[in-house]
A and B are shown apart, each in its own frame.
Chain A
Amino acid sequence: DSGVTQTPKHLITATGQRVTLRCSPRSGDLSVYWYQQSLDQGLQFLIQYYNGEERAKGNILERFSAQQFPDLHSELNLSSLELGDSALYFCASSVDGGGGELFFGEGSRLTVL
């Protein structure tokens, strides 16, 4: 158990819909990362937050948005969903976002039908 909690674990929805994925980092970790992993694909970096502020942005679509709240949990919002958005979305946390070890949650598997 990494200490990072992601909900929901599984989500099935239809094209055009909007979903929110939630991540609670390990106690004491200030940085949260979001990654997308499609079938047999690598880990695509989406976005990183540090202590409530956006630190870095990767290949995140405009239909996707995220934020980190004062209690340090983070949410990834995916809207106008397309079939290609079906993937495993991982959240990871680290102590300071300064290159330290990442602890990954178990992921949220999104299926868009």
Chain B
Amino acid sequence: QQPVQSPQAVILREGEDAVINCSSSKALYSVHWYRQKHGEAPVFLMILLKGGEQKGHDKISASFNEKKQQSSLYLTASQLSYSGTYFCGPYYGGSQGNLIFGKGTKLSVKP
């Protein structure tokens, strides 16, 4: 049950904002967000647990709406270092302990 991410790609100028969405067809226990820079391994950004919790990581924050089975990643005042591919990974809990990532959103921040 691969989650659906949108948009597939986005190009920003430095200082602009962006939102990346992640939708699941199944009830979620939590959502992971990772960023992968070109030629590197994915790196953990944050986990959001049930309860509509919102978290932040520098100027990157995220929300989790368990009723809608959706999570959104907000990138504020983007920096060149934000460029990369962002993956969401829903965790369904229990015996389905694996993380199946979305296809990713490629973010390019230009000067």
Contacts from A to B (Cβ < 8 Å): 2, 31, 33, 35, 41-43, 45, 48, 50, 55-56, 58, 90, 92, 97-107
Contacts and interface: CB of A to CB of B under 8 A. Distances in A.
B99 interface: yes
B98 A45 contact: yes
Interface in B93-111: 93, 95-104
A104 to B, nearest CB: 4
A33 B32 CA distance: 15
Contacts of B93: 98-99
Nearest to A57: B98
A42 B41 contact: no
Interface of B: 29-30, 32, 34, 40-44, 47, 87, 89, 91, 93, 95-104
A111 to B, nearest CB: 15
A106 B41 contact: yes
A55 B97 contact: yes
A50 B44 contact: no
Contacts, number: 63
Given A2-B41, A90-B42, A99-B47, 4 more contacts: A31-B97, A99-B29, A99-B93, A104-B43
B99 A33 contact: yes
Contact of B100 (A31, A41, A58, A92): A58
Contacts of A33: 98-99
Nearest to B47: A101
B97 to A, nearest CB: 5
B41 A105 contact: yes
A48 B99 CA distance: 9
A102 B41 CA distance: 11
